[in-house]
Structure 1
């Protein structure tokens, strides 16, 4: 291995944005045939390092010291046309919010085929199987809006594999995936590295995934770790099967009766929620679990009025809710807030954090500017971010920081119901624990009803008052040789 020429190397790399450090003194070597995991707390610069390797630093970011070389070239000094050729043929990058990079008008089969290095020898069906997506059930005919967050992530991975790259860069590739799929993806990446000699770099907060997948690990740390006053050790977990942990006599704030919902259109449409009943009670946390694609996100979007159900009813404080949020009153919209799985696509890239958090304060409460400024600082502190982050825009934040801004925006509306879709999947263990403590405090102090979608069963079982497991199809695993053949 010592004679193998590195595919990429970063040496003492530091990157700043408006004099604020994004990455400090990072060193990394990617070798063909090996998987390198980049770990560390949220905000340490993991995504920034991957983007530097891809030649895609955020606008305004610059290398303040160190060097970076990819496939024998200084990638940050390449002319635009050479950089495009390199990305098209030799390097593939899958970001933390891959759904935002999928053309919403294109179907899955075309999305994958368009990136293939050789379309005559590339089987879309084999690539879908390789990333554990079902074939023959219409998924390949769906558009991105008809996919769950985990399915979008795997379609983006299949697009990257279709290129047959020499370097594969993956930002949190298992966020939003259940443990079985996480292990399948780990085995798939190992096969790709070993059989095809691909150099793989990935970021992850999941120590089990890193242990199963990576040959090498690089730990990054923030230049000045942010203090989080809410951070405390999480409580001991309780058995996952335990439900109705906390007795309550309060009337439900939201009641769901006989809810049926499907995704997709035409022949590709299929039902994911069937005759579902659910009560959300003030001060409780309801955990939603189940495999990717089983309808967890669809349920949250239906409650928020963003996905029209086929039948059934939803009431808020005993009053019927219209299926579409457009037909709900402003007060009804305020009372049910959604924190999406992929916040990058939900945050306006042109708006600062302050503008994002100020809007609900003005719309719902007509607060004057001075009060808005104080409230923005309070909201950022509550979710573990320094108040000066108010001047940043989404591209200047890490994935975990964007997730916390998205949560702060939802809290700004002072809702009765908070719908959280995989809000801890992009956070390190300590930050996730602090976030759960924040939700616990909100439940107690504001009688907030929280719905938490998560694949982290210990986290759900340790904090939930009720657990709702949803079932869904799980593609049969492929043999290792079938996986290797599908991406050649």
Structure 2
């Protein structure tokens, strides 16, 4: 390790909110060129805060309680604003946990990548997209972010970061929302980049398989609440225990539930037509747990948005309990809006940054009148408890939460109206394995207690196998197979 020059040195760093919680316990670590370092630990342990500290961009209101951050020979918190901007522009690239929110929705993919590129030529841009495993022959370069899947948005953000040819690459959950094959390809890409470009690559990650595949060093922030200082020590990458809960009971209450027939969705970009969904049929019985799996970009998120009334299909019909369901949420009666709730892949899509978490949870309680006004504060506390968050989080804003904590708050917001159907888009991708299991246990309990219908989009096939009854396999916008989860996934895997 001593042959690799130091790129980043963090010494006794701790970060706090004024009169508030500790975001990062005192930490010391060294990151070297030519190596891939992984930050692991449960949600809220400070992984994202540490990454943002390296670029000198702490969450709003946060302050350094102790320590220093040296990046390429510069104390980032002592640099003048113009020199810090120059460091970020040319030397250090950061891809956040919600990369889609950082992509200008009005710009096309090719321009987004060229904007930051050392070589902005069309050939170089297409080369970067291909390197990040994006399909360049389908007109993707001419699309806008809204026409991309979450996994595609994440890879476009990675291409933008690589385009500036940085010396330090910081990635927050870089493979969340990607299927296993793509995850492994991105892992191999990161290893190759570290070796060939002499990059210091640092990734915050909950996926032990990704860590095992690509990390040279592992820094465990799991002791974030310990009072003593931590010193990062490379340790062997963790492995999955291999234990899974038995599959949920496949029995479901009788009734037609939520269904879609012949759904067609298309996008046109740069004169090229792209079909996101092609004649898709879908059904979820009352009280059942239905999985939707398939490669990144196969149309899973688009299908959920159609079911939620957020994407108008070009053709096809929707029904709820056998009755026609209007294509858009605005056209649906208030009670039918309440009955179908979506937890998006990007939790920032459900959390208003200007409202506290408590205000965000209270709003649907008032809007749908599911809770008497005097009981709303208590119900907010119950919702936070249900998703494993302390009661005092009601007073925090989204930027004061980790990515995993924001995801749990987003789930609580969707549960607040007491829906009959919960549409979950990669809800565990930003969570550590223990928390992911706890969330799935919560949703399973709600299924039992309320007869909740659960629709789960996920690339984590072990969770789909353990917690769903049936599964739909999407491929290139079409449903290739539908059947019992155990039977279908055993064939897929």
Please say whether Structure 1 and Structure 2 have the same fold, judged by a TM-score greater than 0.5.
Answer: yes
Counterpart of 2:149 in structure 1 is 148
Counterpart of 1:12 in structure 2 is 12
Counterpart of 1:228 in structure 2 is none
Aligned residues: 461
Matches within 5 A, 1:71-82: 71-82=72-83
Give deviations 1:389-433, integer Å, cap 9, x for gaps: 001101000000000000000000111100000000000010001
Give deviations 1:49-78, integer Å, cap 9, x for gaps: 000001110111111122211111111222
Shift of 1:322: 1.4
1:258 equivalent among 238, 257, 262: 262
Q: Name the CA distance, whole Å, in 2 between partners of 1:254 and 1:4.
A: 56
Unmatched runs of 5 consecutive residues or more in structure 2? 227-241, 478-493
Give the conservation status (yes or no) of the 8 Å contact 1:138–1:267.
no
Shift of 1:252: 2.2
| Residues 376 and 331 (structure 1), Cα distance of their counterparts in 2 relative to 1, 3 Å cut | same
Give the conservation status (yes or no) of the 8 Å contact 1:143–1:264.
no
Give the conservation status (yes or no) of the 8 Å contact 1:344–1:402.
yes
Between 1:17-26 and 1:113-122, the stretch displaced more is: 113-122
Q: Name the CA distance, whole Å, in 2 between partners of 1:353 and 1:87.
A: 31
Give deviations 1:430-472, integer Å, cap 9, x for gaps: 0001001000000000000000000011110111110111113
| Residues 105 and 373 (structure 1), Cα distance of their counterparts in 2 relative to 1, 3 Å cut | same
Shift of 1:382: 0.1
Counterpart of 1:485 in structure 2 is none
- Verify: 1:402 aligned to 2:403, yes or no: no
Matches within 5 A, 1:355-366: 355-365=359-369
Q: Secondary structure at the match of 2:345?
A: coil
Give the conservation status (yes or no) of the 8 Å contact 1:261–1:271.
yes
1:246 equivalent among 250, 258, 261: 250
Give the conservation status (yes or no) of the 8 Å contact 2:370–2:417.
no
Q: Secondary structure at the match of 1:132?
A: coil
Q: Name the CA distance, whole Å, in 1 between partners of 2:139 and 2:272.
A: 4
Give deviations 1:234-254, integer Å, cap 9, x for gaps: 85356xxxxx97144510221
Shift of 1:175: 0.2
Q: Secondary structure at the match of 1:365?
A: coil
Counterpart of 1:158 in structure 2 is 159
Give the conservation status (yes or no) of the 8 Å contact 2:139–2:269.
no
Give deviations 1:254-296, integer Å, cap 9, x for gaps: 1211222224446343223222222211211101100000000
| Residues 449 and 90 (structure 1), Cα distance of their counterparts in 2 relative to 1, 3 Å cut | same
Shift of 1:328: 1.3
Shift of 1:190: 0.6
Q: Name the CA distance, whole Å, in 2 between partners of 1:146 and 1:280.
A: 26
Give deviations 1:112-137, integer Å, cap 9, x for gaps: 00100232596111111101000121
| Residues 122 and 69 (structure 1), Cα distance of their counterparts in 2 relative to 1, 3 Å cut | farther
Q: Name the CA distance, whole Å, in 2 between partners of 1:20 and 1:249.
A: 44
1:462 equivalent among 453, 459, 466: 466
Matches within 5 A, 1:373-412: 373-412=377-416
Between 1:152-161 and 1:71-80, the stretch displaced more is: 71-80
Counterpart of 2:245 in structure 1 is 236
Unmatched runs of 5 consecutive residues or more in structure 1? 226-232, 239-243, 474-488
When normalised by structure 2's length, the TM-score is 0.90
Give the conservation status (yes or no) of the 8 Å contact 1:113–1:122.
no
